Amino acid sequence: MIRPVIAGNWKMNKTIAEAVDFATRLREALGSRDDREVIIAPPFTALQAVAEALRGSPIRLAAQNLHEAEKGAYTGEVSAAMLSEAGCACVIVGHSERRTLFGEGNERINRKLQATLTEGLQPIFCVGETLAEREAGRMPAVIEGQLKEGLNHLTADDIGETVIAYEPVWAIGTGRTASPGQAQEVHRLIRDWLGQQYGAGRAAETAILYGGSVTPKNISELMTQPDINGALVGGASLDVATFMEIIQYQ
């Protein structure tokens, strides 16, 4: 049984002071509850301060992106080792906003996944099709291509350290969520693919999160689906009370 994972992707929101305040209040609200794995992904600038605010709590800290190189002349970029030192346990890799707004392709994302794993951090690897791809009947090919190229060179042990997030691009920030059935279909496809590549055991143990307009209203129904193991939440993760409602879904 995979413990449900609820991860909050804050994107480019919250100052350091706001982030610390959020983390402090979330920690208090969560108490000793440990049947849900909770992750928050603040912007780079707030990571270290949030790590301090979360010290000793079960809430895990994630970065939203990284650079694949160890160090060097990459102005404006941040390495896996820097994130680890700042207190991160996880990194979101391959988010659709990185793919579309910042031109990250599968090969680059693959190098980022390898850098994340080499540093001992847990990747939250995002895949998802656009509306045009879905409407053209290309969803399965797009998802499989992202998995195949994104996970290239990764071993079964690496997969054991990796969380996957299915985020249909047409559902991100649009208020238009995939129906539980639509999401389940893709989660099943991802798990079947993982099973073929890495064995059924690994596939069954891999947490596959759904992301795209998740709210307190739709989380319970999404989580009834057998292959949905959690959620990657954007907009609804910015308010402690709303995020707590999602964490506490029944």
Terminus-to-terminus CA distance in the chain, angstroms? Answer: 16
Q: Is 211 in the site for ligand PGA (CB under 6 A)?
A: yes
Residue of 68, 95, 104, 129 marked catalytic: 95
Gap between the Cα atoms of 167 and 17, Å rounded: 29
Nearer to ligand PGA, 87 or 234 (CB): 234
Interface with ligand PGA, residue 128, by CB under 6 A: no
Region near ligand PGA per CB under 6 A, out of 62-70, 136-144, 227-235, 240-248: 227-235
Distance, in Å, from the CA atom of 60 to the CA atom of 26, rounded to the nearest integer, reads 12
Nearest C-alpha neighbor of 149 from the set 108, 190, 184? 108
77 is catalytic: no
C-alpha span between 24 and 240 (Å, rounded): 10
Nearer to ligand PGA, 198 or 249 (CB): 249
CA-to-CA distance for 26 and 242, rounded, in angstroms? 11
The structure tokens listed for 2 are 């995979």
Active site includes 167? yes
Judged by CB, which is closer to ligand PGA: 179, or 196? 179
Of 117 and 172, CB closest to ligand PGA: 172
- Supply the minimum distance, in Å, between the C-beta of residue 76 and ligand PGA: 22
Tokens of 245: 């409602």
DSSP-derived letter for residue 109 is H
Binding segment for ligand PGA among 32-40, 145-153, 187-195, 208-216 (CB under 6 A)?
208-216
The residue ranges that bind ligand PGA (CB under 6 A) are 9, 167, 172-173, 211-214, 232-236
